[in-house]
Amino acid sequence: MREIFILLFIFIAFRAIGQEKLVEINGIRYNVLLKGFEDKSDKVPTLIFESGMGVDLGNWDKIIDEISSFAPVFAYDRAGIGKSDKIFTMPTTSFVNKNLHDILEKLQIKPPYILVGHSLGGVYIRSFAGYYPNEIAGLVFIDPADFTETKQDWNQIFRQMGVPEKKIDDMLYERLYKPSPVDSLHFGPWSERQTLTQWRKTDFAEIKTLPLPNVPILFFVGGKFEVPPQNRSKDFDQETFFHIKNNSNMDRWKKLIYSSSKGGSLIYLTNAGHYIHRDEPKSIIQNIKLLVEQ
């Protein structure tokens, strides 16, 4: 009995203090962070954060503290990223989502969940919502990798800009089909990039077969072009491409929002780059608070 009490005390203390800790699931140790659980009400959903490609949970530091004042939050490093164990397994949706779900169960973090995903994390929260639709209370996409996009959508932007078809074909090969040697030293980020490439080859067919729960949906879009002149393409106007692509993405994302009877919002932030939650943290916090309270 004393051992059980001590374990329970340690678990509660960890959740209350909000420190990072390693949690082992399916033979992998994951670095996790929990905050705001000390006064959790069953009526308040838990915020689950999925980071972008190769990025650890520290990238949420500008918003997690304040959000945890009105809702419990959970963030973690995916396998191979940050302080989590390095592994040599491809981060498919089924692998990432199942392990995340197992972590939540082990830590007794019960639904409902509001999922928050940035960049590649946006793809993972979309698939998690499809695997566990009855556990989701809302979806928040922060400049996500566009899981609604097709290769035709991508090519059409260049056609609109007057880029020759041969050059379009060459660029598509570079983007999706050029071999990429395995990077054993940085396998986590490399494997995430390769997995995203595979999804793009199939027009995200796997993601599109998964059901979308009928919940409020928020999209945040950054309108600031950030590529420095020395890194821009010599084959086309990259800034023009950025703005056309943003508009194309937003047209499809609006349809996704309209498909839910619970509605949602698309928030375009002119002064924010790709890391909107770092450039415009107050906007993210305020809109998530409204979502939690509705």
Determine phi and psi for 242, rounding to 5 degrees.
-55, -45
- Average pLDDT over the chain, rounded to whole? 93
For residue 38, what pLDDT band results from cuts at 50, 70 and 90?
A: confident
| CA–CA distance, 7 with 1 (Å, rounded to integer) | 10
pLDDT of residue 294: 85
Amino acid at 175: R
| CA–CA distance, 293 with 127 (Å, rounded to integer) | 25
Q: What share of the chain is helix, strand, coil (3-state, %, to 5)?
A: 45, 15, 35
Containing 171, the helix (H) or strand (E) segment is helix 165-172
pLDDT of residue 6: 34
Tokens for 42? 């069953």
Residue with tokens 């959508």: 153
Fold classified for 18-293: Rossmann fold (3.40.50)
pLDDT digits 0-9 by tens, 207-263? 999 999 999 999 999 999 999 999 999 889 999 999 999 999 999 999 999 999 999
pLDDT of residue 5: 34
> Is the pTM higher than 0.85?
yes
pLDDT of residue 18: 61
Enumerate the β-bridge partners of residue 268: 221
Tokens for 109? 């973090």
| CA–CA distance, 81 with 67 (Å, rounded to integer) | 24
Please state which of the ranges 12-26, 64-78, 130-144, 268-282 shows the lowest mean pLDDT: 12-26
Tokens for 236? 């086309």
Find out whether 203 and 95 touch, Cβ atoms under 8 Å.
no
What letters, b where the CB count within 10 A reaches 16 and e where it falls short, cover 17-55?
ebebbebebeebbbbbbbbbbeeeeeebbbbbbbbbbbb
Treating both helix axes as pointing N-terminal to C-terminal, what angle do 93-106 and 120-131 enclose, rounded to 10 degrees? 70
What letters, b where the CB count within 10 A reaches 16 and e where it falls short, cover 205-240?
ebbeebebbebbbbbbbbeeeeeeeeeeeeebeeee
| CA–CA distance, 94 with 103 (Å, rounded to integer) | 14
